[in-house]
Every structure is written in structure tokens, then in C-alpha cells.
Structure 1
Amino acid sequence: MSADVLGRWVPDRPEDVAAVFAKADFPWWIAGGYAIELAVGRELRAHGDLDVLFLRRDQDRVRDLLTGWDLYVADPPGKGELRPWRPGEVLRPPLHDIWCRRKPEAPWSVQLMLDEAEGAQWVSRRHPAIRLPIDRLGRTSKAGIPYLAPEVQLFYKAKATREKDEIDFEAVLPLLDAPARSWLADAIRVVVPSHPWLRRLLPVSRT
């Protein structure tokens, strides 16, 4: 979805989001390119937005936390159309993408992504076979900011890789241990069986 079409973005920084979500009583994680930067511990590139992932079952609590914000849902996802997220509305699949700004005249600053869960298991919205225990879905930065585990973020980037995704992959690949590489390779094979990243992951994941 093009931010150029739908309005101006001035993305928050991860520390800004952490301040907003400081009182959250549900799990959440910085996602996207910022998650990769939190993993490697340095800035890699410019960012057009800031993604935050949370579980669909927690959407009411997210809505309460963002009382007063201007919230829009992409409906249908990825088609360049936004509509207000109405108070009390329960977002059901395939809706998963929420654009947020502090007031209607402000630029967009946070993009929320909903993902699925079954009990203590995270379930990818891309394919129900892709799973992890929720307590393994994220990491925590030195500053105490939760972010999506890099192998999970790379899985989401693998569907349609762009130049920025290749930058992220190269930066974080040396930090992935054998179990993380193995999980990522197995997950990518489910959705993109011929992905070129597999050649970089398989030698380690299959030893």
C-alpha cells in the first residue's frame, strides 16, 4: 500500500512507541525494518513507516490504549484503501493492517499489524503451518524495547523481497544461530520454495 497515495508519514521511533505502550498488559513487538535494527544494534537505512505487531485477540486492549488516536484499517488489505476503525468493531481476517496517527491533521506515525494465535502458539497469518511459542516470538533490546525475532521478521520479508529487505537480511544473517536459520528456512520453503535466501540458510540449518 502506498503512503504517497494515502497521506504523509512521519514514523515514530521505537522509543516513542515504547512510551505509548508502556502500560500495555498484552504482548507487542516492534516489527519491520526497525526490528532488524534493534537486533543488530545500529541504524541500517531510512524508514518510511514503523510497524508494531500484536495478537488479534488483544485488539480491544490495543484500542483502549490508543483512545483518542485516529485509527484506520486497510480494507481490503494491500489495495490502497483505508476506512475508519470504528469503536467497538472487531477486526476479523483478512483485515490485519491498521494505520495510526495522533489526530486527524497529523501525519501517520505507527502501523499496527494483527497476527493470529492459538493458545500459547503464534500462528502466522501467511500460513497456519508457520508457528512458534509466543514466548519465543520476540526479543528485548538493551533499552527494554520488545521487537520481533529477526528470523520471524525475515520470514515476512521473504514473500516479495525488495532492496531494503536484502539490506536487512545481510545485516542480521550473521546473528542467526543454527536453530533460527533452520526455522527460517523451513518457514520460507512453505511459502516461497525457490527463494534465493534458502541457499544462504540451508548449509547451516542442515548440518
Structure 2
Amino acid sequence: MSAEVLGRWVPDRPEDVATIFADAGFPWWIAGGYAIELAVGRELRAHGDLDVLVLRRDQARVREMLARWDLYVADPPGQGKLRAWRPGEVLRKPLHDIWCRRKPEAPWSVQLMLDEADGSQWVSRRDPAIRLPIDQLGRTNETGIPYLAPEVQLFYKAKSTRDKDEADFEAALPLLDAPARAWLAGAITMIAPDHPWLRRLLPISRT
């Protein structure tokens, strides 16, 4: 979705979001390119937005916490159209992308992404067969900021890779241990069995 069409972005920093969500009382994770940077421990590039992932089942709590913000949902997703997220409205699948700004005249600063859950399991919105225990979905950096585990974020980035996604893959790949590589390879295989990243994730088994 084009930021130029839908308005100006001045993304918050992860530490800003950590302050906003400090008393959330529900799980949340920095996502997108910032998640990769938190994993590798250094800045990699400039960012046009900042993504925060929360579970769909916690959306009412998110909506209440951000009650004074100006919140819009992409409806339908990916079509360049936004509409107000009304107080009390329950967002159901496939709606998952929420643009947030502190007031109507302010730039967009946070993009909320809703993901699915089944009990203690995270469930991919792209394929419900792709799952992970929620307590393995993220990591926490040295300052206490939660972020998506690199293998999970790379799974999202694998759908249609851009130059920045390839750069993020190169930066994060050395951080992935054997179980993380195996999970990511399995998840990518289910949605894109010929993806070029697979040769890098499991080179021995694919020679």
C-alpha cells in the first residue's frame, strides 16, 4: 500500500512503541525490518514505517489502549484503501492491517498487524498449517523490547522479496540455529517450494 497515496509516514522508533505498550498486559512484538535490526543488534537501513504484531484475540485491548489515537484499517487488505476502525468494532479475517497516528493531522507512526492464534499456538494467516508456540514467536533485546524471531519475520518477507528483504535475509541468516533454519525452510516450502532462500537454509539436504 502506498504511503504517498494514503498520507505521510514518520515512523516511531521501537523504544517509543515499548513505552506506549509498557502496560499492555498482552503479548506484542516489533515486526518488519525493525525486528531484524533488533535481532542483529545494529541499524541496517532507513525505514518507511514501523510494524507491531499483536494477536487478533487481543484486538479489543489494543483498541482500548489506543482509544485516543486515530486508527484506520486497510479494507480490503492491500488495495490502497483505508477506513476508520470504529470503537467496539471487531475486525475479522481477512482484515489485519491497521494504520495508526496520534491525531488526524499527524503523520502515520505505527502499523498494527493482527495475527491468528489457536490456544497456545500462533497460526499463520497465510496458511493455518504453519504454526509455532506463541512463547517461541519472539525474542527480547537487551533493553526489554520484544520483537519477532528472525525466522518468523523472514517467513513473512519470503512472500515477494525486494532488495531490502534480501538484505535482511543476509543479515539474519547467521543468527539462525539448526531448528530455526529447519522451521523457516519448512514454512517457506509450504507457500513457495521453489523459493531461492531454501538453498541457503538447507544446503546439505538440497545438494
Normalized against structure 1, the TM-score is what? 0.98
Deviation track 1:163-205 (CA, whole Å, cap 9, x = no partner) reads 0000100001001000000000000000111100000001267
Please tell me the residue identity of whatever aligns with 2:188: I
1:14–1:34 CA contact under 8 A, matched in 2: yes
Residue of structure 1 in register with 2:19 after alignment: 19
Within 1, Cα distance between the matches of 2:172 and 2:202? 16
SS in 1 for 2:195: coil
Q: 1:75 is matched with which residue? A: 75
Say whether 1:193 aligns with 2:185.
no
Matches of 2:46 and 2:161, distance apart in 1: 17
2:152 maps to a residue whose letter is V
SS at match of 2:30: strand
- Percent sequence identity is 83
Aligned to 1:40: 40
Distance 1:25 1:204 in 2: 43
Distance 1:117 1:197, change over 3 A: same
Alignment map for 1:1-207 (pairs within 5 Å): 1-203=1-203
- What residue identity is the alignment partner of 2:128? P
Contact 1:182 1:205 in 2 (8 A): no
Would you say the 8 A contact 1:181–1:204 is kept in 2? no
Q: Aligned AA for 2:196? A: P
Q: Which runs of 5+ in 2 are unaligned?
A: none
User: What do residues 10-36 of structure 1 show as CA deviations (whole Å, max 9, x unaligned)?
Assistant: 000000000000001100000000000
Alignment root-mean-square deviation, CA = 1.2
Kindly indicate whether the alpha-carbon contact (under 8 Å) linking 1:12 and 1:50 is maintained by their aligned counterparts in 2.
yes
Letter in 1 for 2:90: V
Runs (4+) of structure 1 moved beyond 2 Å? 203-206
**Deviation of 1:141 (Å):** 0.5
Change (3 A) 1:86 1:195: same
Report how many aligned residue pairs link the two structures.
Answer: 207
- Quick one: which amino acid aligns to residue 203 of structure 1? P
